[in-house]
Copies of this chain bind each other. A is one copy, B any other.
C-alpha cells in the first residue's frame, strides 16, 4: 500500500492550546500591531489600551429640563400665600434642557411650576434649592476617568461616550490578515459543473467568513492541487502577504496529505493531531515567525478547530458564549480518547431544555447550520446517558429557543414550508423540526421532549390512522390529535420506469431502499407486504434503511437503488416516476394541555392557512379536508 502519514502523538485540546500559545508567546508572535482609528469608524474594533476622558460631560453646569433659571436665594420665601414675582433678564432667564447655567443663577424651575403674569413677569409659589434641576459639570464623564478598558469590542453606545469624552481617535489592534489556501485534487471551485468525484470547495469561504466575523481580513487563494511543490510555493506566498496562514485541508494522514511535511521543511510543527472529535487532524505550526495552521477537511472539524485555535489569535480575547443545562434526549456513547463536540438541537418543553443530538459525522455541515448548541463530552468520559443533565454551549440566543415550537416525528417537506411561513410572518416564533419517524416522535412526546409529534401510523385492525397507537402508548384523556393532511403514498421509481414496476409485488425483482423501523411509511409498507403475503427476505435492499423521504428519493435517483416507498412530493422533486399505493393521514399529536400555547395556535393558523395550501397544491399529492380539526383521545 502507498505510504501514509503517521500522526505525532495526539495531545489534548488544552495541551495543544498551551503548547502552541506558549511557543507563539516565546517568539513574541502574539504581540499584535496597533493602529489609530477615528472614533467614528471604530464600531466592533478592539481597544489595545484603556481610554481616558479628555473632557467633562457635561462640559458645564447645564439645565436638566426646560424652564427658567433663577438665583435660589431669591425664591427662599415663596409660598401660595406669598408668591415671589420675578422679572425676565433681571431675576430669571428662559432655558431649554442643556443650556448653560451661569452665576448668579444656580437653579432651574420647571416650566410647569411657573405662573405667567405677562411676557416679562412671572410668579412662583414654592422655593427652589441651590443646584436643583442642574446637571453639574462632569456629572456623566469626568476628565481622566476611564471610558473603556483594554481589549474591549466597541459598541455603538461606546462611540457616543468616547466622543462626549473628547476622544476623536483611539488605539486599536490592527486587523490581522489571514491567507486561506484550499488544497486538494478532488476540490473544485463552485463555478464549475460538478461531476462524480468532485467536491465543491465550500470550506475556504466558510473560513473567510469566520475570519471576517472575528475582526480579521480573510484573503482566499485559488485552489492548489495535491502537489508538494505547488502547495509549498503557495504557503510561502501567503506567508509573505499575510499575518496568519491557514491550509485546508491536507492535514490528515492520507496518501496525498503533504501539508505537514512541507511545514516541517519550512519551520516548526508544534502540534499535529489533537484528541478531539471532530477535528483530530489539526496542524499548529510556526514558519518565518508567523502562525500557520492546517485545518481538517471536514467542514465541522475545520469550524471547531478554527474556533479553538485560530479565533483567539484574531480576537486577543477568549470567546465566551452562553452555556445552559439541558437534558439529553438519547444516550451518547463517546470514546475515552477524545473530547467530543456533539451538535444538538435544543428545545424548551414544559420549562426544561432538551438537547437532541444531530448527525455526529464530521462531514455534516448541515448539522452545524441546524444546531442550536454544542454539547461537549469530556475526554475521559464514556458518554452521556439519556435524560442526563449536560452543559450545552449555545450558538443562538436563549430567548430565541424559548420562542421555538419543537416538533419531533415523521418527516414531510411540508414541515420545511410551515417553518418558513412561521419565520416570515411571526416575529421570532419559529418551528424546529427533527425527523425520527412517527413512532420515534410519539415516544419523544411521551418522554416530554417535544411539543408536537407529526405521525402517520395505520392501525392494521381498524384501518384508522394514528388514534389507536396513541391510545395504546398514552391511554385516554391526555393527548389530542391536530388533524393534518392526506398524503398520497406510493412507490418511487426511476424516470420512465425502466423496470416497469406496477405494484408492490414487482419490488421483488429490483434493488429496493427502505425507510427505518417506526416510520409511518415503513409501517404502511410492512402492512401491505403482510396483506399481500410477500416475504420481506425476497426484497433486495429491505435492510437498507434511510430516514427521510428525500433521502430515499435521492437514492432511487442514484445507480444504487431502483425503487423505494415515499410520498409523491418527494418523488416529484427528484424527477422520479410514482406509482400510487394509498392515501394516508399525516397528523400532529400533542398534549391536550399544550393546545393553548401561543406557538401552537400560530402553528395551527399556518396549517389551516391559504399560503400553505397554495404551496402544497403546487407540489401535488396533498389533501386538506380536515386540517386543523382537534380530536381529543
Measured CB to CB, the residues of A under 8 A from B are 1-2, 4, 39-40, 43-44, 50, 55-61, 64, 66, 68, 94, 96-100, 102-103, 106, 111, 114, 116, 119, 122, 130-131, 135-152, 155-164, 166, 168, 184, 186, 190-191, 194-203, 205-210, 212-213, 252-256, 297, 299, 303, 317-318, 320-323, 359, 361, 363-369, 397-400, 403, 413, 416-417, 419-420, 423-424, 427-428, 430, 544, 546, 548, 550-551, 553-555, 557-560, 573-574
Residue of B nearest to A187 (CB): B98
Q: Are B202 and A149 in contact (CB under 8 A)?
A: no
When chains A and B are docked, how far (Å) is the Cα of A500 from the Cα of B370? 73
Q: Which of the listed residues A4, A55, A423 has the most CB atoms from chain B within 10 Å of its own CB?
A: A423
- A-B pairs, 9 with minimum CB distance: A160-B206, A156-B209, A138-B554, A163-B202, A144-B573, A320-B399, A100-B197, A96-B254, A146-B416
Residues of B near A98 (CB, < 8 A) are 184, 186, 199, 297
When chains A and B are docked, how far (Å) is the Cα of A616 from the Cα of B320? 32
Query: Which of B135, B252, B544, B551 contacts A361 (CB under 8 A)?
Result: B135
Q: Are A397 and B321 in contact (CB under 8 A)?
A: yes
Q: Are A157 and B61 in contact (CB under 8 A)?
A: no
Residues of B near A168 (CB, < 8 A) are 190-191
Residues of B near A145 (CB, < 8 A) are 416, 550
Measured CB to CB, the closest approach of chain B to A333, in angstroms, equals: 18
Measured CB to CB, the closest approach of chain B to A401, in angstroms, equals: 10
Q: Are B213 and A43 in contact (CB under 8 A)?
A: yes
When A100-B196, A213-B43 are in contact, do A419 and B149 touch as well, CB less than 8 Å? yes
Residues of B near A163 (CB, < 8 A) are 190, 200-202, 205-206
Residue of B nearest to A369 (CB): B161
When A364-B140, A365-B141, A554-B143 are in contact, do A66 and B254 touch as well, CB less than 8 Å? yes
Q: Which of the listed residues A155, A318, A417 has the most CB atoms from chain B within 10 Å of its own CB?
A: A155
Residues of B near A157 (CB, < 8 A) are 206, 299, 303, 365, 368-369
A-B contact pairs, 14 of them (CB 8 A): A1-B114, A50-B420, A58-B199, A59-B199, A60-B197, A64-B361, A99-B197, A142-B553, A144-B550, A156-B206, A157-B365, A160-B205, A161-B299, A322-B398
Residues of B near A208 (CB, < 8 A) are 40
When A66-B255, A197-B60, A197-B100 are in contact, do A149 and B420 touch as well, CB less than 8 Å? yes
Residue of B nearest to A145 (CB): B550
- New contact pairs (7) apart from A131-B544, A136-B555, A163-B200, CB-CB < 8 Å: A1-B111, A60-B197, A136-B560, A138-B550, A140-B359, A161-B368, A320-B400
Query: Which of B43, B164, B361 contacts A212 (CB under 8 A)?
Result: B43
Residue of B nearest to A207 (CB): B156
- Interface SS, A side: loop
When chains A and B are docked, how far (Å) is the Cα of A212 from the Cα of B106? 41
Q: Are B366 and A147 in contact (CB under 8 A)?
A: yes
Measured CB to CB, the closest approach of chain B to A114, in angstroms, equals: 7
Residues of B near A212 (CB, < 8 A) are 43
Q: Are A322 and B205 in contact (CB under 8 A)?
A: no
Measured CB to CB, the closest approach of chain B to A41, in angstroms, equals: 9
When chains A and B are docked, how far (Å) is the Cα of A233 from the Cα of B203? 50
Q: Are A369 and B419 in contact (CB under 8 A)?
A: no
When chains A and B are docked, how far (Å) is the Cα of A341 from the Cα of B28? 46
Query: Which of B4, B143, B200, B546 contacts A164 (CB under 8 A)?
Result: B200
Residues of B near A135 (CB, < 8 A) are 361, 363
When chains A and B are docked, how far (Å) is the Cα of A136 from the Cα of B364? 12
When A140-B364, A148-B369, A555-B137 are in contact, do A166 and B200 touch as well, CB less than 8 Å? yes
Query: Which of B146, B160, B369 contacts A202 (CB under 8 A)?
Result: B160
Residues of B near A122 (CB, < 8 A) are 1
Measured CB to CB, the closest approach of chain B to A33, in angstroms, equals: 16
Q: Are A322 and B322 in contact (CB under 8 A)?
A: yes
When A122-B1, A574-B144 are in contact, do A321 and B200 touch as well, CB less than 8 Å? no
Residues of B near A253 (CB, < 8 A) are 66
Query: Which of B161, B413, B550 contacts A365 (CB under 8 A)?
Result: B161
Residues of B near A367 (CB, < 8 A) are 140
Q: Are B424 and A150 in contact (CB under 8 A)?
A: yes
When chains A and B are docked, how far (Å) is the Cα of A446 from the Cα of B93? 48
Q: Are A160 and B551 in contact (CB under 8 A)?
A: no
Q: Which of the listed residues A98, A160, A209, A555 has the most CB atoms from chain B within 10 Å of its own CB?
A: A160
Q: Which of the listed residues A114, A142, A159, A196 has the most CB atoms from chain B within 10 Å of its own CB?
A: A142
When chains A and B are docked, how far (Å) is the Cα of A210 from the Cα of B157? 8
When A55-B194, A196-B102, A203-B160 are in contact, do A66 and B252 touch as well, CB less than 8 Å? yes
